[in-house]
Amino acid sequence: MAALTTTESETGSAPPAARPPRKVGFSQKLSRWDVKVSPYLYISPFFILFGLTGLFPLAYTAVVSVYDWNLLGGQGDFVGLQNYVDVLNQPTFWKSLVNTFSIFLLSAVPQVIIAITLAALLDQNLRNATFWRMGVLVPYVVAPIAVSLIFGRLFADQFGLINGFLGVLGLDPVGWHSDRFASHIAIASMVNYRWTGYNTLIFLAAMQAVPRDLYEAATIDGAGRVRQFFSVTVPQIRATIIFVVITASIGGLQIFDEVKLYDVYGQGGSDRQWMTTVLFLYETAWGNQRDLGRAAAVAWMLFLIILVIGFINFKFSTRIASSGPKAPKVSRAVTRRLLAEARSAGAESAARRGDQQSTTTTDTTDRSDS
Amino acid sequence: MHRSTRSQGRLAATAGISILALSLSACGGGSNDQGEGEGTSDEPITLTVATFNDFGYTEELLAQYTEEHPNVTVEQTVAARSEDARTNLTTKLAAGGAGLADVEAIEIDWMPELSQYPDLFEDLADPEVEGRWVDWKVEQGTANGKLIGYGTDIGPEAICYRQDLFEEAGLPSEPAEVAELLGGEDATWDDYFAAGEEFVKGSDAAWYDVGTSIYQGMVNQVEAAYENTDGTPIPLADNSQVQDLFETVTAQNEAGLSAGLEQWSDDWNAGFQKDAFATMLCPAWMTGPIESNSGGIDGWNIADVFPGGGGNWGGSFLTVPASGENVEAAKELAKWLTAPEQQTTAFENAGTFPSQIEAQESDTVQSFTNEFMNGAPVGEIFTNRAANIEVNPYKGPNYFSIHTTVQDAILRVEVAKSDEPDASWEKALSAYDELGL
Amino acid sequence: MSSVAAAAQGAGKGAAKAAARRRVRRQKHHGESAVRRPGWITYAVLGIALVISAFPLYYTLLLGSSDQVTISQEVLPQLLPDASIFERFADVMGNSQVNFWLALANSVIISVTISVATVLTSTLAGFSFAKLRYPGRNALLVFVIATMAVPTQLGVIPMYILMSEIGWVGKIQAVIVPALVSAFGVFWMTQYLDSALPFELIEAARVDGASMFRTFWSIALPAARPAAAMLGLFIFVMQWTMFFWPSIILGSQNPTLPIAVQNLTAGYHDDYSLIMAGVFLVTLPLLIIFAVIGRQLVAGIMQGAVKG
């Protein structure tokens, strides 16, 4: 890993005497110090605040999880890993995991596919483009209470609109609450309603940044719309695809509102047929059990599961969006003009090195597991 | 409300975490000045009252308290749903009590868990309030012999019914006749179910909304349904009493008496409009939801009768958290708010039926009628119903966990229709085992 | 002209930006006349998506202009909203249960502060992660992403304890401070800058002798503008609609708008019409922001196409 600078070698730690110094003295030291410290300085606000608001709860949860700890009664005896064992022995916990994955797959997969398709449609020379583009984001602002009210009327088992419609067509009603899989579909559709437009806009932003001349070149090469999409668009928005897949995975495994609001009791159904693990956690802590110790154990296990899934998806999406044709990421002309204006001769070589680096850095994310 | 910042030094980054976590037993963390005698001092103070739904405590009512106690300003926070209020209260208790109101309203359903930790609340026993409430209300508000809640409202149950559907089915429809039809003064559940069988022969509607509400009405008449009075749980597999009730309820479903509409669900809301059922177990506060779901329907009425003796469903209390800074003044306020005069006013404001004997007997309450329920004399009916309650069921720490397993079993049979009664009962047994009691 | 200045100008400041946008439009009209307009199928698909997207909001408006009796009778009470919605708005604002104006002020302060701060801290960190090379970079980035996997529900109790220790219960800084940074934002900016900011530009600036911060300020920040606008919008909406944590830590004494709307439900009489009017009223500012920023945002995204 080298610090990106014009005066430092790739290792970033070569003694200055190894090269004829261009400038001597304090300003250079300052500059080197600037290069060394700045990166850390810029990420420090996040880490400092996160230490308080993220790390503290995580550590606190870890402590609670090894005690017998009632929500109201407070701390009890030290029980070691007993809470974890208890949770793992509960069939409902395993059921909730299956539900979580089922709802997650039913929501994340269609969501990403629909979002990227819509984005591709919006990334055209549309009339009133702004109107269409902002339109897809509307669901993101609708209050959950309104969404649950409407979807509740759609998906009611006996008098719901959807089953009424099916009845008109002469089909049997679907048990949107009684049937396990059907309830997952209903919940996933609420989740998809809320997040598809949002992800569409994220994809669109990335697509808009793809240089248009690439498409022109592809058109000249005789590639059709679909072919262009797969061989130009997808590789170009690789970083964004990774971003969306990972955030959708992490979010999808933590779906809570839609699940809790799907019926009045908020306990995942009479057979726990749509209880997800986050809801299980909530019920364990605030529900009838009031067992904060077990809930903390669930929280930690869920945390680890999400990490693993997130990592798998990262690998997966990196493969999907693996580098296609290498292409300049920005309009070259402007950069060239800027470089031409650069005064020092060292600048040219530096820029070349920068160029090389820019072709290699795109792969650094692959190694972020180091 | 706002405690002064204490011991910030303890928060020295992560090193402090374990210490902090360890020092946070429920009794720690709260502030320790007990505010001795503040109830009588003249220092200006602000008291907060946390309620939910609608307790009927209007601005005017609270201002009246300030008129009588010039140094006290009262501020109320209202949570929309009792569930929000419950999460709020338990979270703050778990965190040591900061941010709790001086007076916290609680629902009867929260008592089983809260009464395990009576130390979190002030003892409200006071010679002044002796004999203020119906006896069973005082019992409900008592934990380990300590009075932790002053009663506000109660939910004595009658039967609400659709007189128009009764007429269509060829049954008598006047309230007095209906009360007689359902068994009159010593009505039993069998009388109620028999009338139902009669009804469904002549109507497309079901007799009642869902078995879980019937079951709830039945279980509330059992002295100790799920736990012995020393708090030890009765294993569900050996609990023949509960199993009998379960079988009775599911058998009625077989007979077509239940509409299978889970209470509060969208289907249930729609069921009012679709004439899905003709009767409901009806605590005093239920008249509100019936009215808001029955736009354009004018057939509802109330019969002064309840199967199996009286029954109570719901009701609330005011408590004073022990961690507060003005506990004495807060007690005064809670005492005043739950006095008969104020509760009568609250009833006029929000229809919360008083648990105070004197308030029930007041002209205001006695002469109160409900327009929507065809002018039913609700004050009179519910006072009468409250007087008929004989059993105050024991609800120990695990009441709701076990109750939920049985409720779920009924829902599986009636609403989800996913299991036959026997299979569903088996599932309830394994769910009980999972509780690890 | 130094390359820094050139880059800054290229990235657009004031008039230069407007000129750039004009240039883009001209290009679109001339250069892209070659690019054919999409066919009716595209519009049909987008139209369906738009109807589905907007329906719940429209339905909210319908219920708001209806009344409880009609709502309980009819699934679709009416087809068009009417003027009575304004009376309901007035009811919401004047409702004694709800401190509407305080809630509005709180919501504005919280959402604006958090979005601005988050955009700044995220862009800084994103620039560092995407474009600088230093020991521990990848590990730290993975750590940031991992923090998103922490289930938030259980964090409420320790956070509440923390806030009561420093005496912030019931104060809006208890909502603001924890949210000043966002792992989501850092990740977002990292991914965007990774592809949108060419190394040559940074190189050029460094050659020019610009300090790291100067480089960030005049090269990275302008390049990140479209992504920053979107991030700001996302965070703003998220904070505007957030319910659970504010309701616990603030309570209805010092509410935000979602808490205020919740408090419209008085007792067992759910007045859906009033609640929905409240919901719509709370959503309205967001729609206005959409309308105003939407153009900017899309234009900003377009700028991305001619970055430099």
Per-residue H/E/C for chain B = CCCCCCCHHHHCCCHHHHHHHHCCCCCCCCCCCCCCCCCCCCCCEEEEEEEECCCCCCHHHHHHHHHHCCCEEEEEEEECCHHHHHHHHHHHHHCCCCCCCCEEEEEHHHHHHHCCCHHHECCCCCHHHCCCECHHHHHHCEECCEECCEEEEEEEEEEEEEHHHHHHCCCCCCHHHHHHHCCHHHCCHHHHHHHHHHHHHCCCCEEECCHHHHHHHHHCCCCCCCECCCCCECCHHHCHHHHHHHHHHHHHHHCCCECCCCCCCHHHHHHHHCCCEEEEEEEHHHHHHHHHHCCCCCCEEEECCCCCCCCEEEEEEEECECCCCCHHHHHHHHHHHCCHHHHHHHHHHHCCCECEHHHHHCHHHHCCCECCCCCECHHHHHHHHHHCCCCCCCCCCCHHHHHHHHHHHHHHHHCCCCCCHHHHHHHHHHHHHHCCC
Q: Is A85 helix (H, G, I), strand (E, B) or coil?
A: helix
Q: DSSP string spanning A215-252?
A: HHHHHHTT--HHHHIIIIIHHHTHHHHHHHHHHHHHHH
Number of folded domains that form chain B: 2
Domain membership flag for residue B68: yes
Distance CA A134, CA B148 (A): 55
Domain co-membership, B307 together with B408: yes
SS3 call for A314: helix
pLDDT of residue A358: 37
Q: Which of A60, A64, A288 sits opposite B400 (nearest CB)?
A: A288
**8 Å CB contact between B7 and B54:** no
Q: How far is CA A262 from CA A94, A149, A192, A275, in A?
A: 20, 9, 15, 10
For residue B15, tell me if it sits in a domain: no
Considering only residues C29 and A77, tell me which one the structure prediction assigns the higher pLDDT. Answer: A77
Query: What is the C-alpha separation between B323 and B6, in angstroms, rounded?
Result: 15
Domain hosting B234: range is 155-313+375-435
CATH of the domain at B285: 3.40.190.10
C307–A330 C-beta distance less than 8 A: yes
What lies within 8 Å, CB to CB, of B6 at 6+ separation is: B31, C165
Is residue B113 included in any domain, yes or no?
A: yes
What does C121-165 look like in DSSP terms, one character per residue? HHHHHHHHHHH---TTHHHHHHHHHHHTTS-SGGGHHHHHHHHHH
Contact B104, B50 (CB under 8 A): yes
Nearest to A46 among C55, C57, C121 (CB): C121
Residue B168 shares a structural domain with residue B124: no
List Cβ neighbours of C18 (8 Å cut-off, separation of 6 or more).
none
Residues of C in contact with B292 (CB under 8 A): 68, 72, 268-271
Which of B2, B6, B78 faces C169 most closely, judged by CB atoms?
A: B2
H/E segment holding residue A75: strand A74-78
Of A72, A90, A155, the CB nearest to B117: A72
Question: Which residues on A lie below 8 Å from B22 (Cβ)?
Answer: 63, 75
Q: At what angle do helices C40-64 and A144-155 cross, to 10 degrees?
A: 100
Residues B80 and B220 in one domain: no
Q: Are residues B196 and B290 in the same domain?
A: yes
User: Are A133 and C298 contacting, i.e. CB atoms less than 8 angstroms apart?
Assistant: yes
- What's the rounded Cα separation, in Å, for the pair C212 and C217? 9
Distances (CA, A) of C306 to A200, A210, A331, C303: 21, 9, 6, 5
Nearest to C283 by CA among A138, A135, A130, A152: A138
Q: Are residues B230 and B306 in the same domain?
A: yes
Q: Are B285 and C268 in contact (CB under 8 A)?
A: yes
Return the residue matching tokens 């974890």. A84
CATH number for the domain whose boundaries are A93-283+302-322: 1.10.3720.10
Averaged over A38-49, what is the pLDDT? 90
Q: Is residue B77 located within the same domain as residue B170? A: no
Q: Are residues B167 and B295 in the same domain?
A: yes
Asked if the Cβ–Cβ distance from B288 to C268 is below 8 Å, we say yes
A111 vs A348 pLDDT, higher one:
A111
Beta-carbon separation of C169 and B84 below 8 A: no
Cβ contact (<8 Å) for B98 and C169?
yes
Q: In angstroms, what is the C-alpha Rg of chain C?
A: 24
- Residue B98, in any domain of the structure: yes
Contact between chains at C262 and B94 (C-beta distance less than 8 A): no
pLDDT number for residue B10: 26
> In the numeric block, which tokens belong to residue B197?
């069988």
What's the rounded Cα separation, in Å, for the pair B415 and B96?
Answer: 41
What is the rounded CA–CA span in Å between residue C46 and residue A77? 59
Separation between Cα atoms, residue B419 and residue B51, nearest integer Å: 40
DSSP code string of A160-177: -HHHHHHHHTTPPPP-TT
Can you give the pLDDT at residue C195? 79
DSSP code per residue over C68-102:
HHHHHH-SS--SS--THHHHHHHHHHH-TT--HHH
Q: Tell the residue number behind the tokens 């990403």, with chain if given.
A: A112
Percentage of chain A with pLDDT > 70? 79
Closest CA to A43 of C136, C232, C175: C136
Residue A11's pLDDT is 35
Q: Do A4 and C131 touch (CB under 8 A)?
A: yes
Task: Provide the token pair at B239.
Answer: 């609990």
Chains meeting B at 3+ CB pairs closer than 8 A? A, C
Q: Are residues B161 and B231 in the same domain?
A: yes
**C-alpha C227, offset from chain centre:** 11
Predicted confidence at residue C270, as pLDDT, reads 64
Instruction: List, as ranges, residues 145-174 from A with C-beta within 8 Å of B.
Output: 152-153, 155-160
- Report helix angle A144-155 to B266-273, nearest 10: 60
What value does the mean pLDDT take over residues A111-139?
89
Chain-chain contact of B292 with C268 (C-beta, under 8 angstroms): yes
Same domain, B326 and B388: no
What is the Cα–Cα distance from C290 to C234, expressed in whole angstroms? 11
User: In this complex, is the C-beta atom of A205 within 8 Å of any C-beta atom belonging to chain B?
Assistant: no
Q: Do B350 and C267 touch (CB under 8 A)?
A: yes
Of C97, C111, C126, C119, nearest in space to C241 by CA: C111
Q: What's CA A202's distance to the chain center, in Å?
A: 11
Residue B2 counted as domain residue: no
H or E element in which residue C23 lies:
helix C15-30
The CA R_g of chain A, rounded to the nearest whole Å, is 27
- Pairing, β B277-283 against β B150-162: antiparallel
Q: What pLDDT tens digit does each residue of chain C (308 aa) get?
A: 344 444 333 333 344 444 444 444 444 444 443 456 778 888 999 999 999 888 888 888 888 888 877 777 777 777 788 888 888 888 888 776 678 889 999 999 999 999 999 999 999 999 999 988 888 888 899 888 888 888 887 788 888 888 888 888 889 999 999 999 999 999 999 998 887 788 888 888 888 888 888 889 888 888 888 889 889 999 999 999 888 888 888 877 788 988 888 777 655 456 778 888 888 888 888 888 888 877 776 665 555 444 43
What are the tokens at B61? 């009512």
pLDDT, residue B13, reads 29
C-alpha span between A257 and A187 (Å, rounded): 10
| Residue A271, min C-alpha distance to chain C (Å) | 23
Ranges of residues in chain B with a pLDDT under 50 are: 1-39
For residue B70, the tally of other CB atoms under 10 A from its CB is: 9
The candidate with the shortest Cα–Cα distance to B94, out of B8, B147, B31, B29, is B29
Residues 6 or more apart in contact with residue C38 via CB below 8 angstroms: A121, A124, A125, A126
Q: A68: part of which helix (H) or strand (E)?
A: strand A67-70
Q: Do B92 and B148 fall within a single domain?
A: yes
Those residues whose C-beta lies under 8 Å from the C-beta of residue C218, and which sit 6 or more positions away, are C4, C5, C7, C8, C11, C205, C210
**Contact partners, residue A45, CB within 8 Å, separation at least 6:** C121, C124, C125, C180, C181
C186:A46 CB<8 A: yes
Choose between A264 and A15: higher pLDDT: A264
The set of residues, in sequence order, having a beta carbon less than 8 Å from that of B110 and lying 6+ positions away, is B86, B89
* B195 shares its domain with B320: no
Q: State both tokens at C112.
A: 């604006």
Mean pLDDT of chain A: 79
Q: Are residues B209 and B121 both part of a single domain? A: no
